Every structure is written in structure tokens, then in C-alpha cells.
Structure 1
Amino acid sequence: MDYINAFWVGGLICALVQILMEKTKMLPGRIMVLLVCLGAVLGALQIYQPFMEFAGAGASVPLLGFGNTLWKGVKEAVDENGFIGIFMGGFKASAVGISAALIFSYIASIIFQPKMKK
């Protein structure tokens, strides 16, 4: 049942974002920032954690989950280090995901040799 919940929740999030992209004139970058900020706000309001427990990877993988991860990292760092934790918590919490994205995108660029559009 966990796989089914992850599938339909992740699909629903992606479908809603696709509708938002199609029906508004918002640029994709702004929508991505909106999703990350929304995930952080929902995490701060303690709404996102129960949602993630229900949906698993369906809620933790999209950009909403990334925002929630940033929020949790900042909250933990502020509890440990005070004010300076605001600046270091997000980096500490998301370092593995960001590093993996950079490494795998570099490997993909070597394999597929991308070219600029003309």
C-alpha cells in the first residue's frame, strides 16, 4: 500500500504543478521557487511531516519535499547553533541531494555531449 500511496500522491502533485504551468503565465523557475517555499512553510506549520509519513517518497521527492528538508535543517541548526544556524542549516540538510544532482548531471553531460540550441 505504501507504493500505491507514493504513486498517487506524487502523481497528484506533479499533475497540479503541470496544470499551474499550463494555466498561468508563471515561468517554470518561479513555480519551482514557489514549491520549495511552500514545502518550507508547510514544514514550519507542521503539516508536511504527517503528509510525508502517509505518502512516503511521493511527498518527499518533489520540490515540496526539498523545501521541507531545508526547513528541518534550518530548524535543527538554529536549535544547536543559534542565529548562525539560519545560514548553515539548509546547506547541511540538503548537501547530499545537491551533490548527487551535480555529480549525476555532470556524468550525463559527458555521456550524451549536450549542445546549445541554435
Structure 2
Amino acid sequence: MDYVKAFLIGGIICALVQILLDRTKLMPGRVMVLLVCTGAVLGFCNIYKPFQEFAGAGASVPLLGFGNVLWQGVKEAVDKSGFLGIFQGGFKASAVGICAALVFGYLASVTFEPRMKK
């Protein structure tokens, strides 16, 4: 049942984002930034954690989850290091995800031989 719940919640998030892209003139990059910032703000307001516990991977995998991870990292680093934690926390918390994206993106480019469009 956890898989179904994660699939449904993640699908609803993706459907809402697709509607936002279709109905507005916002570019995809701006929508992605909006999602990350929304996840950080929801984490700040202590709304994201209960939502994530309910939805599981359906809430932690999309960009909302990335924003929340950044917020949690900054919060922990500020508690530990003070003001400098603002700059350190996001990098430490998101390093694994960013490295995985780079490695798998590289492997995909080597495997599938990408070409420039003509």
C-alpha cells in the first residue's frame, strides 16, 4: 500500500506542475526553482515532515523533497556552526543526490551517445 500511496501523491504533484506549465507562461526552469523554494518554505513551516511521513517517496523524490533536504541541512548546520552553517548546510545535505545525478547523467550520456539537434 505504501507504493500505491507514493505513486498517487507523486503523480498528483507532477500533474499539478504540468497544469502550472500548461496554463501559465512560466518557463520550466522557473517552475523547478519554485518547487525547490516551496519545499524549503514548507520545511521551515514544519508542514513538509508530516506530509512526507504520509506520502513516503511520493513526497521525498520530487523537487519539493530536494528543497526540504536543503532546508534541513541548513537548519542543522546553523545549529552546529552558527552563521556559516547557512552556506555549508545545503551543500552537505544535498551532496549525495547531486553526485548521483552527475554520475548517472554521465553514464547515460556514455551509454546512449547523445547528439546535438540539427
Instruction: Settle same-fold status: TM greater than 0.5.
Output: yes
1:18 match: secondary structure: helix
Match of 1:38?
38
Partner of 1:98: 98
TM-score by length of 2: 0.99
| Number of the residue aligned with 2:75 | 75
- Other-structure match for 2:108: 108
The 1-side partners of 2:112 and 2:12 are apart by: 31
User: Match of 1:55?
Assistant: 55
Displacement over 4 Å in runs of 4+: none
**2:66 corresponding residue in structure 1:** 66
Measure how far apart 1:2 and its partner are.
1.4
Long gaps (5+) in structure 2? none
Provide the alpha-carbon RMSD of the alignment.
0.5
Secondary structure of residue in 2 paired with 1:86? helix
What CA deviation, in whole Å up to 9, does each residue of 1:49-104 have, x standing for no partner?
00000000000000000000000000000000000000010000010000000000
Q: TM-score, normalised by structure 1?
A: 0.99
| Identity in percent | 74
CA distance in 1, matches of 2:97, 2:41: 20
Equivalent residue pairs, number: 118
How far is 1:5 from its partner? 1.2
